[in-house]
Amino acid sequence: MKTSNLEDVRLTLIATALTGLAWIAFTQPLLAADGAKTVATPADKVARGKYLVTTSGCNDCHTPWKVGASGPEPDMSRMLSGHPEKMELPAPPQPSGPWIVAAAATNTAWSGPWGVSFTANLTPDKETGLGKWSLRQFSDTIRTGRHLGRGRPILPPMPIPMYKHFTDEDLAAIYAYLQTIPPIQNRVPEPVAPKQ
Ligand code: HEC
């Protein structure tokens, strides 16, 4: 091979290497942007929260039930607004034998050995719902089973023993979703202590 040919080969190699470097420099930000897709955007977080709320049964207890065309169903016009404050309830039935729990037709008031509990308003209403709650207060409530993480114990049948295992990300997603749903003003009554 002549010297000039060797020179050509060397130049070609250098050019190829430079093209490669240029390609990496060009694609790196794109790859990084693509990788960033796995990090949740606020919309992803809300969608995940909606999914968790829907599949974890929050509407079973926190949305008052009505009798619809095909039987009892959560009344989604009152989604997650808790036990209706205006609903009048007679004294709960006395437990008999192994039957110890009774629920109102709305599925929002429950009587058992703990007394009577009423499901909370989870909508972002500032006065009667979770509108003024921080993520920290919400997570602490679920994790410790105490109102705002330090108040009175949260009564059954709120499934704290299961929900306390939600990850931080899941709790943040549930909280984010709950803050986006329509606020409904509904002041849920305080629980009634069991008769001694
Ligand atoms: C089996 C019924 C049931 C299900 C399912 C349920 N809850 Fe509850 N929840 C309750 C009851 C009853 C209370 C009120 C307990 C009390 O007053 O001590 C409550 C209370 C709460 C509270 C505490 C409010 C406060 O002021 O301290 C939060 C927060 C809450 N629920 C969120 C949720 C979320 C989020 C879900 C779904 C992931 C859910 N709950 C599912 C029955 C339920």
Local confidence pLDDT in tens for the 196 residues of the chain: 555 565 665 655 555 555 555 555 555 544 445 555 566 799 999 999 999 999 999 999 999 999 999 999 999 999 999 999 999 999 999 988 899 999 999 999 999 999 999 999 999 999 999 999 999 999 999 999 999 999 999 999 999 999 999 999 999 999 999 999 999 999 999 999 998 7
Give the residue among 149, 92, 101, 142 at the shortest CA–CA distance from 122.
142
Distance, CA 185 to ligand 1 centroid (Å)? Answer: 17
Q: Is the CB of 191 under 6 A from ligand 1?
A: yes
Examine residue 186 and state whether it is found in any structural domain, yes or no. Answer: no
Residue 62 CB less than 6 A away from ligand 1? yes
Quote the number of domains for the chain. 2
Could you tell me if 21 and 74 lie in one domain? no
What residue type is assigned to position 26 of the chain?
F
Using a 6 Å cutoff on CB, does residue 110 contact ligand 1? yes
Does 119 sit in the ligand 1 pocket, CB within 6 Å?
yes
Print the domain residue range for 105. Answer: 42-178
Residue 138 domain flag:
yes
Q: Both 31 and 52 in a single domain?
A: no
CA dihedral 45, 57, 101, 158 (to 10 degrees): -10
**Rounded to an integer, what distance in angstroms lies between the CA atom of residue 38 and that of residue 31?**
12
Q: Tell me the whole-structure pTM to 2 decimals.
A: 0.84
- Whether 34 and 80 map to the same domain: the answer is no
Residue 121 lies in a domain: yes
Same domain, 115 and 150: yes
Residue 194 lies in a domain: no
Strand-pairing partners, residue 99, are: 96
Distance, CA of 82 to CA of 59 (rounded, Å): 9
